[in-house]
Structure 1
Amino acid sequence: ASIDVASIPEPKAQPEPLAQYGNPESYEVDGVTYRVEPVGAGFTELGTASWYGRKFHGQLTSSGEPFDMFQFTAAHKTMPIPAWIRVTNVENDQSLVVRVNDRGPFKEDRVLDLSWAAAERLGFADQGTAKVRYEVLTVPTSDAALIANPLAKPAQAIFQVTAVSTEIQAQKVAEQIRRAVPEDQATVRVESNGTGLFRVQVLPITDLGIERAIYEQLVALGWSPQRLIAK
Protein backbone atom coordinates (compact mmCIF):
# COMPACT_ATOMS: atom_id res chain seq x y z
CA ALA A 1 0.00 0.00 0.00
CA SER A 2 1.48 3.33 -1.06
CA ILE A 3 0.36 5.81 1.57
CA ASP A 4 2.26 7.57 4.34
CA VAL A 5 0.33 6.61 7.47
CA ALA A 6 2.37 9.08 9.53
CA SER A 7 0.49 11.85 7.69
CA ILE A 8 -2.96 10.52 8.65
CA PRO A 9 -4.23 12.55 11.64
CA GLU A 10 -4.95 10.57 14.79
CA PRO A 11 -8.73 10.53 15.34
CA LYS A 12 -10.34 11.97 18.47
CA ALA A 13 -12.50 9.66 20.56
CA GLN A 14 -16.14 10.73 20.72
CA PRO A 15 -19.28 9.09 22.11
CA GLU A 16 -21.56 7.83 19.32
CA PRO A 17 -24.99 6.19 19.15
CA LEU A 18 -25.06 2.39 19.26
CA ALA A 19 -24.81 1.09 15.68
CA GLN A 20 -28.04 -0.31 14.27
CA TYR A 21 -26.10 -3.29 12.88
CA GLY A 22 -23.40 -5.44 14.47
CA ASN A 23 -24.81 -5.42 18.01
CA PRO A 24 -26.96 -8.57 18.33
CA GLU A 25 -27.21 -10.13 21.80
CA SER A 26 -25.16 -13.01 20.41
CA TYR A 27 -23.92 -14.36 17.08
CA GLU A 28 -22.21 -17.51 15.85
CA VAL A 29 -19.09 -17.97 13.70
CA ASP A 30 -17.57 -21.38 12.93
CA GLY A 31 -19.72 -23.06 15.59
CA VAL A 32 -18.63 -20.66 18.36
CA THR A 33 -21.21 -18.36 19.98
CA TYR A 34 -20.09 -14.85 20.95
CA ARG A 35 -22.10 -12.55 23.24
CA VAL A 36 -21.94 -8.79 22.78
CA GLU A 37 -21.11 -7.57 26.31
CA PRO A 38 -21.33 -4.07 27.78
CA VAL A 39 -17.90 -2.66 28.66
CA GLY A 40 -17.01 0.53 30.53
CA ALA A 41 -14.60 3.34 29.69
CA GLY A 42 -11.26 2.60 31.33
CA PHE A 43 -11.45 -1.17 30.72
CA THR A 44 -8.07 -2.53 29.59
CA GLU A 45 -6.94 -5.83 28.10
CA LEU A 46 -3.57 -7.23 27.07
CA GLY A 47 -3.29 -9.67 24.18
CA THR A 48 -2.28 -10.33 20.59
CA ALA A 49 -3.47 -8.10 17.75
CA SER A 50 -3.46 -8.96 14.06
CA TRP A 51 -4.46 -6.81 11.08
CA TYR A 52 -6.55 -7.00 7.91
CA GLY A 53 -6.26 -5.00 4.72
CA ARG A 54 -6.61 -5.16 0.96
CA LYS A 55 -8.59 -8.42 0.79
CA PHE A 56 -11.43 -6.81 2.80
CA HIS A 57 -11.08 -3.19 1.57
CA GLY A 58 -14.53 -1.88 0.60
CA GLN A 59 -16.45 -4.80 2.12
CA LEU A 60 -19.05 -4.08 4.75
CA THR A 61 -17.95 -4.10 8.37
CA SER A 62 -20.32 -5.48 10.99
CA SER A 63 -21.61 -1.94 11.66
CA GLY A 64 -22.72 -1.67 8.01
CA GLU A 65 -19.97 0.80 7.05
CA PRO A 66 -17.47 -0.09 4.30
CA PHE A 67 -14.07 -1.21 5.60
CA ASP A 68 -11.31 1.28 4.75
CA MET A 69 -7.82 -0.13 5.27
CA PHE A 70 -6.44 3.44 5.31
CA GLN A 71 -8.52 4.52 8.35
CA PHE A 72 -7.57 3.79 11.96
CA THR A 73 -10.17 1.17 12.87
CA ALA A 74 -10.39 -2.18 14.64
CA ALA A 75 -12.49 -5.32 14.98
CA HIS A 76 -13.38 -6.82 18.37
CA LYS A 77 -15.46 -9.94 19.04
CA THR A 78 -17.77 -8.70 21.81
CA MET A 79 -17.44 -4.95 22.45
CA PRO A 80 -20.51 -2.83 21.59
CA ILE A 81 -19.84 -0.85 18.40
CA PRO A 82 -18.83 1.78 17.57
CA ALA A 83 -16.41 2.24 20.48
CA TRP A 84 -13.14 4.16 20.68
CA ILE A 85 -10.02 2.62 22.20
CA ARG A 86 -6.36 3.52 22.62
CA VAL A 87 -4.10 0.68 21.45
CA THR A 88 -0.48 0.49 22.59
CA ASN A 89 2.07 -1.82 20.97
CA VAL A 90 3.85 -3.00 24.13
CA GLU A 91 6.85 -4.11 22.05
CA ASN A 92 7.72 -0.55 20.93
CA ASP A 93 5.44 1.67 23.10
CA GLN A 94 3.73 3.23 20.05
CA SER A 95 0.07 4.06 20.74
CA LEU A 96 -2.91 5.14 18.65
CA VAL A 97 -6.62 5.94 19.05
CA VAL A 98 -8.79 3.71 16.83
CA ARG A 99 -12.52 3.23 16.25
CA VAL A 100 -13.97 -0.25 16.78
CA ASN A 101 -16.61 -0.82 14.06
CA ASP A 102 -16.28 -4.50 13.11
CA ARG A 103 -16.39 -8.04 14.51
CA GLY A 104 -13.38 -10.37 14.72
CA PRO A 105 -10.71 -11.68 14.84
CA PHE A 106 -12.17 -15.20 15.07
CA LYS A 107 -9.02 -16.85 16.38
CA GLU A 108 -8.91 -17.75 20.06
CA ASP A 109 -5.54 -16.17 20.80
CA ARG A 110 -6.30 -12.73 19.27
CA VAL A 111 -7.99 -9.79 21.00
CA LEU A 112 -8.07 -7.24 18.15
CA ASP A 113 -7.92 -7.11 14.36
CA LEU A 114 -6.62 -3.68 13.33
CA SER A 115 -6.84 -2.00 9.94
CA TRP A 116 -3.65 -2.08 7.88
CA ALA A 117 -3.09 1.66 8.52
CA ALA A 118 -3.37 1.20 12.30
CA ALA A 119 -0.97 -1.77 12.26
CA GLU A 120 1.49 0.19 10.09
CA ARG A 121 1.32 3.20 12.44
CA LEU A 122 1.88 0.91 15.45
CA GLY A 123 4.87 -0.67 13.72
CA PHE A 124 3.75 -4.27 13.20
CA ALA A 125 2.22 -4.42 9.69
CA ASP A 126 5.30 -6.26 8.38
CA GLN A 127 5.35 -8.89 11.14
CA GLY A 128 1.59 -9.58 11.11
CA THR A 129 0.87 -9.66 14.85
CA ALA A 130 2.00 -7.83 17.99
CA LYS A 131 1.42 -7.90 21.72
CA VAL A 132 -0.82 -4.94 22.52
CA ARG A 133 -2.71 -3.36 25.38
CA TYR A 134 -5.90 -1.46 24.68
CA GLU A 135 -7.92 0.88 26.87
CA VAL A 136 -11.59 1.68 26.20
CA LEU A 137 -12.07 5.46 25.83
CA THR A 138 -15.74 5.75 24.87
CA VAL A 139 -18.57 3.27 24.38
CA PRO A 140 -21.71 3.79 22.28
CA THR A 141 -24.89 5.15 23.84
CA SER A 142 -28.36 3.83 23.04
CA ASP A 143 -30.10 7.18 23.38
CA ALA A 144 -32.43 9.29 21.23
CA ALA A 145 -29.56 10.22 18.91
CA LEU A 146 -29.84 6.75 17.38
CA ILE A 147 -33.51 7.22 16.57
CA ALA A 148 -32.86 10.70 15.17
CA ASN A 149 -30.05 9.48 12.92
CA PRO A 150 -30.48 5.80 12.05
CA LEU A 151 -27.86 4.17 9.85
CA ALA A 152 -29.04 3.36 6.36
CA LYS A 153 -29.63 -0.36 5.94
CA PRO A 154 -26.47 -1.85 4.44
CA ALA A 155 -26.76 -2.92 0.82
CA GLN A 156 -27.19 -6.65 0.24
CA ALA A 157 -23.82 -8.10 -0.72
CA ILE A 158 -23.58 -10.96 -3.19
CA PHE A 159 -20.50 -13.16 -3.49
CA GLN A 160 -20.23 -14.61 -6.98
CA VAL A 161 -18.26 -17.81 -6.48
CA THR A 162 -18.04 -19.21 -10.00
CA ALA A 163 -19.82 -19.41 -13.35
CA VAL A 164 -20.00 -22.77 -15.14
CA SER A 165 -21.58 -24.08 -18.33
CA THR A 166 -23.94 -26.71 -16.89
CA GLU A 167 -26.54 -26.55 -14.15
CA ILE A 168 -25.35 -29.91 -12.77
CA GLN A 169 -21.85 -28.49 -12.17
CA ALA A 170 -23.31 -25.37 -10.60
CA GLN A 171 -25.57 -27.33 -8.24
CA LYS A 172 -22.58 -29.47 -7.14
CA VAL A 173 -20.64 -26.34 -6.18
CA ALA A 174 -23.70 -24.86 -4.46
CA GLU A 175 -24.17 -28.04 -2.42
CA GLN A 176 -20.50 -27.99 -1.33
CA ILE A 177 -20.94 -24.40 -0.12
CA ARG A 178 -24.27 -25.13 1.62
CA ARG A 179 -22.54 -27.83 3.67
CA ALA A 180 -19.89 -25.33 4.82
CA VAL A 181 -21.97 -22.19 5.41
CA PRO A 182 -24.71 -22.10 8.10
CA GLU A 183 -28.09 -21.65 6.40
CA ASP A 184 -29.14 -18.96 8.89
CA GLN A 185 -26.12 -16.87 7.85
CA ALA A 186 -26.35 -16.98 4.06
CA THR A 187 -28.43 -18.06 1.08
CA VAL A 188 -26.72 -20.05 -1.69
CA ARG A 189 -28.32 -19.83 -5.12
CA VAL A 190 -27.70 -20.84 -8.73
CA GLU A 191 -28.64 -18.15 -11.23
CA SER A 192 -28.81 -18.21 -15.03
CA ASN A 193 -29.90 -15.27 -17.13
CA GLY A 194 -30.15 -17.12 -20.42
CA THR A 195 -26.51 -16.66 -21.44
CA GLY A 196 -25.71 -20.36 -21.09
CA LEU A 197 -23.74 -19.73 -17.88
CA PHE A 198 -24.87 -20.84 -14.43
CA ARG A 199 -23.62 -18.58 -11.64
CA VAL A 200 -23.18 -19.80 -8.09
CA GLN A 201 -23.85 -16.93 -5.69
CA VAL A 202 -23.81 -16.58 -1.90
CA LEU A 203 -25.91 -13.88 -0.20
CA PRO A 204 -24.80 -13.36 3.42
CA ILE A 205 -27.19 -11.68 5.84
CA THR A 206 -25.95 -8.18 6.66
CA ASP A 207 -27.31 -7.36 10.09
CA LEU A 208 -25.27 -9.87 12.09
CA GLY A 209 -21.98 -8.70 10.67
CA ILE A 210 -20.91 -12.09 9.38
CA GLU A 211 -20.19 -11.11 5.76
CA ARG A 212 -16.46 -11.21 6.42
CA ALA A 213 -16.62 -14.64 8.05
CA ILE A 214 -18.59 -16.00 5.06
CA TYR A 215 -15.96 -14.57 2.69
CA GLU A 216 -13.20 -16.29 4.68
CA GLN A 217 -15.10 -19.59 4.57
CA LEU A 218 -15.42 -19.35 0.77
CA VAL A 219 -11.69 -18.62 0.44
CA ALA A 220 -10.94 -21.58 2.74
CA LEU A 221 -12.94 -23.77 0.32
CA GLY A 222 -10.56 -22.68 -2.45
CA TRP A 223 -12.71 -20.04 -4.17
CA SER A 224 -11.90 -16.40 -5.00
CA PRO A 225 -15.36 -14.86 -4.63
CA GLN A 226 -16.18 -11.60 -6.37
CA ARG A 227 -18.22 -9.17 -4.25
CA LEU A 228 -21.23 -7.61 -5.95
CA ILE A 229 -23.95 -5.34 -4.56
CA ALA A 230 -27.59 -6.25 -5.18
CA LYS A 231 -29.40 -3.78 -7.41
Structure 2
Amino acid sequence: MTSTAWTRFVRAALAAGALAASAAAFAQPAPLQPQPPLAAGTLAVCSATWYGAEGEIPEGWPTASGEPFHRFALAAAHNSLPFGTQVRVSYQGRSVVVRINDRGGFGWPICIDLTYGAFLQIAHPDQGVVSVDYQVL
Protein backbone atom coordinates (compact mmCIF):
# COMPACT_ATOMS: atom_id res chain seq x y z
CA MET A 1 0.00 0.00 0.00
CA THR A 2 1.47 3.33 -0.98
CA SER A 3 1.60 6.21 1.44
CA THR A 4 -1.08 8.02 -0.58
CA ALA A 5 -3.38 5.00 -0.41
CA TRP A 6 -2.65 4.64 3.31
CA THR A 7 -3.48 8.31 3.89
CA ARG A 8 -6.79 7.92 2.03
CA PHE A 9 -7.58 4.78 4.05
CA VAL A 10 -6.91 6.52 7.38
CA ARG A 11 -8.92 9.61 6.37
CA ALA A 12 -11.85 7.44 5.31
CA ALA A 13 -11.70 5.47 8.54
CA LEU A 14 -11.59 8.67 10.59
CA ALA A 15 -14.52 10.12 8.65
CA ALA A 16 -16.52 6.96 9.26
CA GLY A 17 -15.67 7.02 12.97
CA ALA A 18 -14.10 3.57 12.77
CA LEU A 19 -10.93 4.58 14.57
CA ALA A 20 -12.61 6.68 17.27
CA ALA A 21 -13.73 3.65 19.28
CA SER A 22 -10.33 2.02 18.95
CA ALA A 23 -8.52 5.16 20.05
CA ALA A 24 -10.83 5.56 23.04
CA ALA A 25 -10.04 2.01 24.18
CA PHE A 26 -6.34 2.86 24.36
CA ALA A 27 -6.68 6.39 25.73
CA GLN A 28 -7.26 5.38 29.34
CA PRO A 29 -5.95 1.95 30.32
CA ALA A 30 -7.69 0.17 33.15
CA PRO A 31 -5.99 0.85 36.47
CA LEU A 32 -3.86 -1.97 37.84
CA GLN A 33 -5.35 -3.69 40.83
CA PRO A 34 -2.75 -4.20 43.56
CA GLN A 35 -2.84 -7.56 45.21
CA PRO A 36 -3.52 -7.72 48.93
CA PRO A 37 -0.37 -8.49 50.93
CA LEU A 38 0.00 -12.10 51.98
CA ALA A 39 0.69 -13.19 55.52
CA ALA A 40 3.88 -15.15 56.25
CA GLY A 41 3.51 -18.80 55.30
CA THR A 42 0.71 -18.16 52.81
CA LEU A 43 1.01 -20.07 49.56
CA ALA A 44 -0.35 -18.53 46.37
CA VAL A 45 -0.40 -19.45 42.69
CA CYS A 46 0.14 -16.81 40.02
CA SER A 47 2.37 -15.96 37.08
CA ALA A 48 5.96 -14.76 37.31
CA THR A 49 8.04 -12.98 34.74
CA TRP A 50 11.57 -11.58 34.71
CA TYR A 51 13.39 -8.34 34.08
CA GLY A 52 16.99 -7.26 33.67
CA ALA A 53 17.90 -8.43 30.19
CA GLU A 54 21.42 -7.43 29.24
CA GLY A 55 21.41 -3.69 28.59
CA GLU A 56 17.82 -3.19 29.80
CA ILE A 57 18.69 -1.69 33.19
CA PRO A 58 22.19 -0.42 33.98
CA GLU A 59 24.01 -2.40 36.68
CA GLY A 60 23.87 -0.45 39.92
CA TRP A 61 20.79 1.54 38.90
CA PRO A 62 18.72 2.20 42.03
CA THR A 63 15.69 -0.04 42.56
CA ALA A 64 12.54 1.29 44.23
CA SER A 65 14.02 0.37 47.61
CA GLY A 66 17.17 2.34 46.84
CA GLU A 67 19.36 -0.76 46.54
CA PRO A 68 21.50 -1.02 43.42
CA PHE A 69 20.10 -3.28 40.71
CA HIS A 70 22.05 -6.40 39.78
CA ARG A 71 20.55 -8.64 37.12
CA PHE A 72 21.94 -11.83 38.69
CA ALA A 73 20.83 -10.99 42.24
CA LEU A 74 18.22 -13.24 43.84
CA ALA A 75 15.73 -10.42 44.09
CA ALA A 76 12.28 -9.56 42.82
CA ALA A 77 9.72 -6.81 42.31
CA HIS A 78 6.25 -7.02 43.84
CA ASN A 79 3.55 -4.38 43.94
CA SER A 80 2.56 -4.70 47.61
CA LEU A 81 4.93 -6.82 49.71
CA PRO A 82 7.25 -4.79 51.96
CA PHE A 83 10.86 -4.37 50.88
CA GLY A 84 13.07 -7.04 52.42
CA THR A 85 10.32 -9.71 52.42
CA GLN A 86 11.69 -13.17 51.60
CA VAL A 87 9.59 -15.17 49.12
CA ARG A 88 10.07 -18.75 47.92
CA VAL A 89 9.07 -19.02 44.26
CA SER A 90 8.61 -22.56 42.84
CA TYR A 91 8.13 -23.80 39.29
CA GLN A 92 8.04 -27.45 38.23
CA GLY A 93 9.98 -28.74 41.21
CA ARG A 94 12.60 -26.00 41.21
CA SER A 95 12.54 -23.14 43.68
CA VAL A 96 14.42 -19.98 44.53
CA VAL A 97 14.22 -17.70 47.55
CA VAL A 98 14.21 -14.04 46.59
CA ARG A 99 14.09 -10.81 48.51
CA ILE A 100 11.65 -8.08 47.47
CA ASN A 101 13.63 -4.94 46.69
CA ASP A 102 11.67 -3.35 43.85
CA ARG A 103 8.16 -2.50 42.71
CA GLY A 104 6.56 -3.73 39.55
CA GLY A 105 3.95 -2.15 37.33
CA PHE A 106 2.10 -5.37 36.68
CA GLY A 107 -1.31 -6.71 37.61
CA TRP A 108 -2.98 -10.04 38.11
CA PRO A 109 -2.20 -12.74 36.99
CA ILE A 110 1.47 -11.64 37.09
CA CYS A 111 2.23 -11.33 40.78
CA ILE A 112 6.01 -11.21 40.91
CA ASP A 113 8.77 -10.00 38.64
CA LEU A 114 12.04 -11.86 39.21
CA THR A 115 15.48 -10.64 38.29
CA TYR A 116 17.06 -12.44 35.36
CA GLY A 117 19.33 -14.42 37.72
CA ALA A 118 16.46 -15.53 39.94
CA PHE A 119 14.34 -16.58 36.95
CA LEU A 120 17.28 -18.64 35.64
CA GLN A 121 17.16 -20.69 38.85
CA ILE A 122 13.66 -22.00 38.06
CA ALA A 123 13.03 -21.68 34.30
CA HIS A 124 14.55 -20.77 30.94
CA PRO A 125 14.25 -17.04 30.19
CA ASP A 126 12.79 -17.77 26.74
CA GLN A 127 9.64 -18.92 28.53
CA GLY A 128 9.06 -15.31 29.60
CA VAL A 129 6.12 -15.95 31.91
CA VAL A 130 5.56 -19.08 34.02
CA SER A 131 2.89 -20.15 36.48
CA VAL A 132 4.48 -20.37 39.93
CA ASP A 133 3.70 -21.15 43.53
CA TYR A 134 5.02 -18.54 45.87
CA GLN A 135 5.20 -18.43 49.60
CA VAL A 136 5.98 -15.51 51.87
CA LEU A 137 8.61 -16.65 54.35
- In the superposition, the TM-score normalised over structure 2's length comes to 0.68
Find out whether 1:74 has 2:76 as its counterpart.
yes
**Gap regions ≥5 residues in structure 2:** 1-28
CA distance in 1, matches of 2:80, 2:31: 12
Superposed CA offset, 1:58-96 (max 9, x none) = 32211011111111111111111110011101xx21011
Match runs of 1:204-215 below 5 Å: none
Change (3 A) 1:71 1:99: same
3-state secondary structure, aligned to 1:120: helix
The structure in which a higher percent of residues are helix is 2
Give the gaps of 5 or more residues in structure 1. Answer: 1-29, 138-231
1:84 is matched with: 86
Q: Which residue of 1 aligns with 2:66?
A: 64
Aligned position for 2:103 = 103
**For residues 105 and 42 of structure 1, what CA distance do their matches in structure 2 show?**
25
C-alpha RMSD of matched pairs (Å): 2.1
Q: Which has the higher contact order (CA 8 A, sep 6+)?
A: 2
Corresponding residue of 1:120: 120
Aligned residues: 106
Offset of 1:39 from its aligned partner? Answer: 3.5
- Find the counterpart in structure 1 of residue 17 from structure 2: none
The 10-residue stretch of structure 1 (50-59 or 128-137) with the greater mean CA deviation from structure 2: 50-59
Structure 1 vs Structure 2: percent identity of aligned residues?
A: 37
Question: Are 1:41 and 2:43 counterparts?
Answer: no
State how 1:69-218 maps to structure 2 within 5 Å: 69-89=71-91, 92-137=92-137
Displacement after TM superposition at 1:97 (Å) = 0.8
Task: Give the number of the structure whose alpha-carbon radius of gyration is greater.
Answer: 2
Query: With structure 1 as the length reference, what TM-score do the two structures score?
Result: 0.42
Q: Which residue of 1 aligns with 2:31?
A: 32
Is the Cα–Cα contact under 8 Å of residues 39 and 80 in structure 1 kept in the other structure?
no
